[in-house]
């Protein structure tokens, strides 16, 4: 019998009483600075980047002290998105969530459940997230942790450059470190516009 769900815990909660059960748990969840999980995010997440991701709360997932995953929760990038989904209650978006693929089945839903309970203790009442079908994600993990599906976003324009997709808006974002190179690549025909399907919208009330 897999007991990882009982042994996963927040080892450094912000609010008292947020810890879990066993001090010898193989997986531990702890609140952290984004720098702690940057390497695993850039290595494991399909975007291979956390550039431009708004950050309010971060969690690291450790196995025997080694960081094997993490999550970044932040305010949605667009104000109208918050207004549409917050229903007047504190809302955060799950901006990044990764675990190394070798971890046992159901690890994702178990550690995400720990994070959601921790966020509730912080006063957060709604969590918004998106599953990207273009990367094979439909939201199975979210369904398993109580999220409700709220449709699909519109299709999006991206740029393919050096075998990597970039949002079309990066062309005009001066804070994007490669925006001038990206513009030059488009002009030279080295970067091409592609249309990608919309993302599945998931919302969880805590």
- Looking at per-residue pLDDT, the higher value among 173 and 192 belongs to 192
Q: Which of 6, 37, 34, 46 is nearest to 22 (CA)?
A: 6
Alpha helix positions (H), 122-178: 140-144
pLDDT per position as a tens digit, 17-57: 334 443 445 899 999 999 999 999 999 988 878 877 889 99
Measured distance CA(107)–CA(118) in Å, rounded: 17
Structure tokens at 137: 């994600």
Its pTM surpasses 0.95? no
Structure tokens at 36: 């702690």
Measured distance CA(155)–CA(198) in Å, rounded: 4
Whole-number pLDDT of residue 157: 81
Whole-number pLDDT of residue 46: 82
How high is the mean pLDDT of the chain?
84
Out of 56-65, 128-137, 179-188, the most confident range is: 56-65
- Looking at per-residue pLDDT, the higher value among 36 and 173 belongs to 36
Structure tokens at 48: 């291979």
- Looking at per-residue pLDDT, the higher value among 40 and 3 belongs to 40
Q: Give the Å distances, CA to CA, from 49 to 43, 95, 170.
A: 8, 11, 14
Whole-number pLDDT of residue 55: 95
pLDDT per position as a tens digit, 8-26: 666 653 333 334 443 445 8
Percentage of the chain beyond pLDDT 90 is: 50
Structure tokens at 154: 């519109």
Whole-number pLDDT of residue 140: 93
Inter-residue contact 160 to 196 (CB < 8 Å): no
Measured distance CA(157)–CA(188) in Å, rounded: 19
Measured distance CA(203)–CA(130) in Å, rounded: 9
| Burial class (CB within 10 angstroms; exposed 0-12, middle 13-18, buried 19+) of 105 | exposed
Whole-number pLDDT of residue 72: 97
């Amino acid at each position: 019998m897999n007991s990882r769900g009982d042994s996963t815990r927040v080892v450094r909660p912000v609010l008292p009483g947020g810890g879990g059960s066993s001090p010898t748990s193989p997986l531990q969840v702890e609140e952290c600075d984004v720098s702690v999980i940057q390497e695993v995010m850039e290595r494991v997440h399909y975007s291979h980047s956390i550039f431009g991701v708004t950050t309010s709360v971060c969690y690291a997932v450790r196995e025997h002290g080694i960081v094997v995953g993490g999550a970044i929760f932040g305010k949605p990038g667009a104000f109208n998105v918050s207004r549409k989904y917050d229903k007047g209650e504190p809302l955060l978006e799950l901006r990044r969530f990764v675990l190394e693929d070798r971890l046992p089945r159901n690890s994702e839903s178990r550690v995400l459940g720990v994070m959601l309970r921790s966020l509730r203790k912080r006063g957060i009442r709604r969590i918004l997230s998106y599953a990207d079908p273009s990367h094979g994600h439909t939201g199975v993990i979210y369904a398993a942790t109580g999220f409700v599906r709220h449709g699909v976003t519109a299709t999006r324009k991206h740029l393919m450059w050096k075998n990597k997709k970039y949002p079309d808006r990066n062309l005009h974002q001066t804070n994007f470190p490669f925006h001038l190179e990206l513009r030059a690549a488009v002009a030279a025909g080295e970067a091409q516009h592609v249309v990608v399907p919309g993302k599945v919208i998931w919302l969880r009330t805590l």
